[in-house]
Every structure is written in structure tokens, then in C-alpha cells.
């Protein structure tokens, strides 16, 4: 139940605070006095998109705060599901800052607008002209039926299953499309992989291959030059080694005369040893090298294959080619595994479809079961509201495809008079009839769906006289089960309220502001008399007002 509403710096409101009670509270005021501003502020508090132009003084922040008494409404789960701390006395605050940003709090905990909207649905039901139009929509009509059928948990279950089914179906479609795309590329990927596989690149040292190729390609020149070196080193009379040995013998004869000759002999001796080792290596290398056209041909082919693949794949090493080969192998394996993944998803979709279909069938059965009760109650209320011949037809059919609230389509047909054909509400019902139908719907819902607060914004549009009395009686009965606020222009309804608030405008320092004032006693009589006869209150209007109040 809404116990307090405080509004600062919003539209024409500078600073107001109103205390609200249980039962039926009437809100009246002249056209343009600010009744819609009050509802606008409350809607903003409950998650409506913020509009900086609604702020009265743009240099100050706008603050809307409401206190709710929730101990009797079992809303702990709603708070828990939205990660909010439940308090029996809950305070909600919305602020619009001068910067244009907005922020919101529930029990001083920052919350998102989305959390406000979800919570607001469970706290206040604001009826407006827009909602009367929504009465013609299939979605709203099904919501009414589901409320009577107690489908809250079943709808939640269906929504979870439907979302899971939709998600799995989309994933399956994507996987199948991916497979089709992969199949197009599979042949080329397989060709590239096999081409790299046939090149037998594992363990190859490209630098070593190229070096061997160079040696074999130039074997004749290598042999010729190595032979020359061998001859220069080893010729008996004038070979480099023999000459060095002769020099070493000569140094040996004087090495004992001074340390410097000893050092020269040692250096020359080391050089001779190194030259002999070089000569032996040259000789061995000359023996190892020989022309091998077959090997040269094979090496040439191998290197050409490697260079061709490197050019093709824009890489510079065998290691990079092996990485490409591994990647291609993974892609080919992945394509082949798509069938397994598709099969898994197909099974998942089938199972989810069965579960969702089962829940949709339960929804359908529950709706069919409760429709006669809803029809009877609506027609009964409309009879009391001056439409004794009003009749409804609910045509509900189960479809093959899933929808967001089941598999059902619903056509709600209406006629207000005997002998006239049924038609859709939008085409058949007048404005006054729509208002009465909406009140009947709300009256029925109030018996099944416990809400802390319901607000009617001129639901009495298009009615008067005895119908207004009947409306007032129904609203009064509803207020025994919930807090009911009604913005009205009809004295018959205004007189039925247990509490009365007047909204009016006042000029303060040449600035127009909206004010609120609780009415009681003589003030309330005068207000209702003015609703009956206008500004100039007559004795007759006063008498009528007293009669209505009594």
C-alpha cells in the first residue's frame, strides 16, 4: 500500500507531500490543475523513462519519493529475484539531476530503471486511457485470463522453456549454416592439407637441404679447388707443410739460445699441426664430394616444392608451413565434428519443443477452464453498470507455432445489445462502454490478483447518472480488498471515497505552482457541490452533495 508520496521540483510542483490511507481515496481538481502531473511523477518513480523537460527548476534536482507498506502482500520473492533487500516498509526514490542523468534507489540501495519497472508492476496498477485502449489487444486479454487461472508460475515456466527452445533453435540454424559454409571450403582445405602432407615437411632442415644442394650443384668446382689446396699443402718439395717443416728444423737449431726463438718454434709447430689437420680435412672433403645427378635432381625437386608452398602460403619457413598444415587439419576435423554437434542440438530442440508444447497445453487447458467464469463475472458487472444485454464470446484456439505466452490465439467478441452481431471490442464498444468494461475487468481481477494499490485515471469517462453510482459502488467494493485511488470528475464517485484530496493551482510570486489539500467536512461538501453545479455553489448543489455523501 502506498502510504506517502513526496514530489519536489517536478513540472508545476515545487514541493508537496501527501499521506495516503487504505480504502478508497478520491482525487479531484479542475482541468489542468495538475492531476496528470501527479500520475506522471508516480509513473516516473515506477520506472518510466526520465525526461529532463519535466524538471521545474533545471538548476536543482527533481526528487520523487514514495513509501510503501508491504507486510501483507507476500512480495519477498519479487525482491529476492531482483537482487533487492526486502523491507516491509519500503522506500523508493527517483532523482533527476541537473546534468540530465537520473538515478533510483530502493531502501537506499541504487537500482536500475529495469528493476524499478519490474518492482513497480507488483506495487501499483495505474489505469489510464492508454490501458483502456490496450483492452482491445489480444495480449492484455490473455493476461486477464491467465490472472484468473492463476498461471503466474506456469507462465514463468513456459517463458523459460520458450526462451531455451528459441535459443537452441537459433543455434541449430546457425550450426547448419556453418556446416553448409564449411562444406564449400572443405574440399579446398583438404586439397591444401594433402598438398602439405605429401611434401613430407616434418623434421626437414631447409637450410641444410639448401647447403647440400649447393655442394652437389658445384661438386666439380669444389673437387678441383680442394685438389689444388691439397697439392699446395702436401707436395714433397715445395708444399706449404714441407716448407714449414724445413723452417721448423732450422728454428730448432737455435731455439735453445733465447726464449724468443723458443716462442717462434712453438708458434710454427702449432701452425704446422693446424695445417696438417686442414690438409687432412681437405683431403677427406675432396674424397666425400662427388657428382650425384640423381640426388641433385631429388634435392632440386624438394626445394622447389618447399619454395612453391612458401610462396603460395606467404610464409618464409618450413615451421610456418607445418603450423598452417596443423591449422588446416583442425579445420577439417572441426567440419567433420559439426555433424555430431548438429545431432546434439537437434535432440535438444526436440526435447525442449516437447517440454514447451506440454506447458503450452497446460496453459490452454487452464484458460479454457476459466473463460466461462470470466465471461459470467464480466457480464454480471456490466449488468450492474447499465449494460444488461452485454455479452462476450471468447474464441481461443491452439496454434501449431509457439508464441511468447503459449500457442493460443484469442478473439474476444462483444455485443452490448440483443439482436446485434458480435464484433471486436475496438470496433463495437463505445468510449463509455469501454470504460465500463475496463472497470469490470479490474473488478474481476481484484478478486484474483492481490495488488497493494490501484489507481484509476478518469475511468468514468463517458458515463453519468445511475451508471456513475454503479461505478462508484463497484470501486468502493474493490477498495475493501486493496488501496484504491480514483481521479474523477463525477460527484457520484467523488462522494464514495473514504478520503478526498483536491489538486489545485496557485500563483506564488508570479509563478504558478500545483498544490494538494486533503478535504473533509464542509470543504468536501463544497468541492462536490462545485462538481455538481459549477463554481457558483447553490443551495440545491449543497443539498445534493450532502445527499451523495450520506
Q: What are the phi and psi torsion angles at 201 (to 5°)?
A: -90, -15
Helix (H, G, I), strand (E, B) or coil at 436: helix
Cα 522 to Cα 150, 438, 519: the distances in Å are: 45, 33, 8
CB 20 within 8 A of CB 3: yes
Cell of 472: 462508484
In what order do the strands lie in the sheet containing 406-415?
Answer: 391-403, 406-415, 423-424
CA dihedral 46, 51, 56, 58 (to 10 degrees): 120
pLDDT tens, position by position, 103-117: 999 999 999 999 999
Q: Where does 450-533 have alpha helices with state H? A: 465-478, 491-494, 521-533
- Arithmetic mean of pLDDT, 419-432: 86
Q: Give residue for cell 728444423.
A: 249
Q: What is the pLDDT of residue 65?
A: 95
Q: What is the pLDDT of residue 238?
A: 64
* Domain residue spans of the chain: 2-129+449-519, 182-335, 520-550
- Arithmetic mean of pLDDT, 270-289: 78
Q: What is the pLDDT of residue 3?
A: 94
- Arithmetic mean of pLDDT, 529-542: 88
Q: Place 220 in a pLDDT band, splitting at 50, 70 and 90.
A: low
* Greatest mean pLDDT range, 391-405, 456-470, 525-539: 391-405
Q: What is the pLDDT of residue 186?
A: 65
- Arithmetic mean of pLDDT, 477-501: 92
Q: Dihedral of CA 346/352/356/359: which sign?
A: positive
pLDDT tens, position by position, 180-205: 877 777 667 777 777 777 777 787 77
Q: What is the pLDDT of residue 237?
A: 63
- Arithmetic mean of pLDDT, 471-477: 92
Distance CA 5, CA 499 (A): 15
Q: What percent of the chain has pLDDT over 70?
A: 92
Instruction: Specify the higher pLDDT residue, 332 or 342.
Output: 342
| pLDDT at 320 exceeding the cut of 80 | yes
CB 18 within 8 A of CB 501: yes
- Arithmetic mean of pLDDT, 14-37: 86
| pLDDT at 171 exceeding the cut of 90 | yes
pLDDT tens, position by position, 42-100: 989 998 887 777 888 888 899 999 999 998 888 898 898 888 889 999 999 999 988 88
pLDDT tens, position by position, 435-466: 889 889 989 988 887 778 999 988 877 777 88
Distance CA 353, CA 109 (A): 40
| pLDDT at 406 exceeding the cut of 70 | yes
Q: What is the pLDDT of residue 215?
A: 67
Q: What is the pLDDT of residue 333?
A: 67
- Residue of 471, 418, 437, 375 lying closest to 145 (CA atoms): 375
List the CATH code of the domain at 2-129+449-519.
Answer: 3.40.50.300
Distance CA 125, CA 449 (A): 11
- Arithmetic mean of pLDDT, 479-498: 92
Q: What is the pLDDT of residue 6?
A: 94
pLDDT tens, position by position, 333-344: 666 677 888 999
CA angle, residues 251, 254, 256, in degrees to nearest 5: 120
- Residue of 68, 145, 48 lying closest to 453 (CA atoms): 68
- Using N-to-C axis directions, what is the helix angle for 431-446 and 465-478, rounded to 10°? 20
Q: What is the pLDDT of residue 430?
A: 83
CB 518 within 8 A of CB 527: no
Q: Give residue for cell 464470446.
A: 393
| pLDDT at 298 exceeding the cut of 80 | no
Taking all residues of the chain, what is their mean pLDDT, rounded to a whole number? 85
Q: Place 522 in a pLDDT band, splitting at 50, 70 and 90.
A: very high
Q: Where does 385-464 have alpha helices with state H? A: 425-428, 431-446
For the ranges 248-257, 445-454, 483-492, 499-508, the lowest mean pLDDT is seen at 248-257
Q: What is the pLDDT of residue 289?
A: 67
Q: What percent of the chain has pLDDT over 90?
A: 36
Q: Where does 53-137 have alpha helices with state H? A: 76-81, 113-123, 129-134
CB 193 within 8 A of CB 329: yes
| pLDDT at 14 exceeding the cut of 90 | no
Whole-model pTM? 0.68
Cα 298 to Cα 301, 350, 413: the distances in Å are: 5, 59, 89
| pLDDT at 434 exceeding the cut of 70 | yes
User: Which residues lie below 8 Å from residue 363, measured CB to CB, with a gap of 6+?
Assistant: 146, 151, 154, 155, 158, 405, 406, 407, 408
Instruction: Give me Rg for the CA atoms of the chain.
Output: 48
- Arithmetic mean of pLDDT, 145-160: 92
In what order do the strands lie in the sheet containing 124-127?
Answer: 124-127, 453-457, 483-487, 24-28, 499-508, 511-519
Amino acid at each position: 500500500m502506498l502510504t506517502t508520496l513526496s514530489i519536489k521540483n517536478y513540472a508545476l510542483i515545487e514541493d508537496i507531500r501527501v499521506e495516503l490511507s487504505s480504502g478508497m481515496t478520491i482525487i479531484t481538481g479542475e482541468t489542468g490543475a495538475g492531476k496528470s502531473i501527479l500520475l506522471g511523477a508516480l509513473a516516473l518513480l515506477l520506472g518510466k523513462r526520465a525526461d529532463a523537460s519535466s524538471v521545474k527548476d533545471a538548476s536543482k534536482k527533481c526528487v520523487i519519493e514514495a513509501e510503501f507498506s508491504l507486510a501483507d502482500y507476500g512480495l519477498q520473492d519479487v525482491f529476492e529475484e531482483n537482487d533487492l533487500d526486502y523491507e516491509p516498509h519500503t522506500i523508493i526514490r527517483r532523482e533527476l539531476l541537473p546534468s540530465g542523468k537520473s538515478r533510483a534507489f530502493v531502501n537506499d540501495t541504487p537500482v536500475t530503471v529495469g528493476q524499478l519497472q519490474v518492482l513497480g508492476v507488483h506495487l501499483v496498477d495505474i489505469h489510464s486511457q492508454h490501458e483502456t485502449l490496450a483492452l482491445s489487444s489480444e495480449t492484455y486479454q490473455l493476461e486477464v485470463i491467465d490472472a484468473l487461472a492463476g498461471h503466474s508460475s506456469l507462465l514463468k515456466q513456459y517463458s523459460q522453456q520458450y526462451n531455451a527452445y528459441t535459443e537452441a533453435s537459433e543455434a541449430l540454424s546457425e550450426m547448419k549454416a556453418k556446416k553448409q559454409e564449411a562444406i564449400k571450403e572443405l574440399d579446398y582445405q583438404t586439397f591444401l592439407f594433402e598438398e602439405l602432407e605429401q611434401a613430407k615437411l616434418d623434421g626437414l632442415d631447409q637450410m641444410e637441404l639448401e647447403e647440400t644442394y649447393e655442394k652437389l650443384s658445384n661438386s666439380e668446382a669444389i673437387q678441383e679447388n680442394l685438389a689444388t689446396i691439397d697439392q699446395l699443402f702436401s707436395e714433397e718439395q715445395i708444399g706449404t707443410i714441407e716448407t714449414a717443416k724445413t723452417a721448423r728444423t732450422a728454428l730448432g737449431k737455435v731455439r735453445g739460445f733465447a726464449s724468443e726463438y723458443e716462442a717462434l718454434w712453438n708458434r710454427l709447430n702449432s701452425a704446422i699441426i693446424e695445417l696438417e689437420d686442414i690438409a687432412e680435412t681437405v683431403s677427406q672433403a675432396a674424397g666425400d664430394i662427388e657428382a650425384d645427378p640423381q640426388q641433385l635432381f631429388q634435392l632440386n625437386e624438394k626445394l622447389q616444392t618447399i619454395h612453391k608452398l612458401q610462396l603460395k602460403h606467404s610464409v618464409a619457413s618450413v615451421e610456418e608451413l607445418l603450423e598452417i598444415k596443423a591449422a588446416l587439419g583442425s579445420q577439417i576435423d572441426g567440419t567433420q565434428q559439426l555433424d555430431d554437434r548438429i545431432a546434439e542440438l537437434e535432440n535438444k530442440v526436440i526435447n525442449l519443443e516437447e517440454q514447451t508444447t506440454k506447458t503450452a497445453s497446460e496453459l490452454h487447458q487452464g484458460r479454457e477452464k476459466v473463460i466461462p467464469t470470466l465471461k459470467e463475472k464480466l457480464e454480471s458487472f456490466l449488468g450492474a453498470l447499465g449494460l444488461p444485454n452485454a455479452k462476450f464470446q471468447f474464441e481461443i484456439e491452439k496454434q501449431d507455432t509457439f508464441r511468447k505466452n503459449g500457442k493460443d490465439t484469442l478473439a474476444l467478441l462483444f455485443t452490448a445489445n440483443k439482436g446485434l452481431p458480435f464484433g471486436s471490442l475496438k470496433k463495437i464498444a463505445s468510449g463509455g462502454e469501454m470504460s465500463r468494461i475496463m472497470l469490470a475487468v479490474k473488478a474481476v481481477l481484484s478478486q484474483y490478483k492481490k495488488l497493494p494499490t490501484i489507481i484509476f485515471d478518469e475511468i468514468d469517462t463517458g458515463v453519468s447518472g445511475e451508471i456513475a453510482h454503479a461505478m462508484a459502488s463497484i470501486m468502493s467494493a474493490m477498495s475493501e480488498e486493496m488501496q484504491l485511488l480514483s481521479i474523477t470528475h463525477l460527484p457520484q464517485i467523488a462522494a464514495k471515497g473514504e478520503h478526498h484530496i483536491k489538486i489545485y493551482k496557485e500563483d506564488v510570486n508570479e509563478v504558478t505552482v500545483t498544490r494538494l489539500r486533503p478535504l473533509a467536512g464542509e470543504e468536501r461538501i463544497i468541492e462536490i457541490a462545485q462538481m455538481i453545479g459549477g463554481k457558483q455553489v447553490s443551495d440545491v448543489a449543497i443539498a445534493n452533495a450532502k445527499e451523495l455523501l450520506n
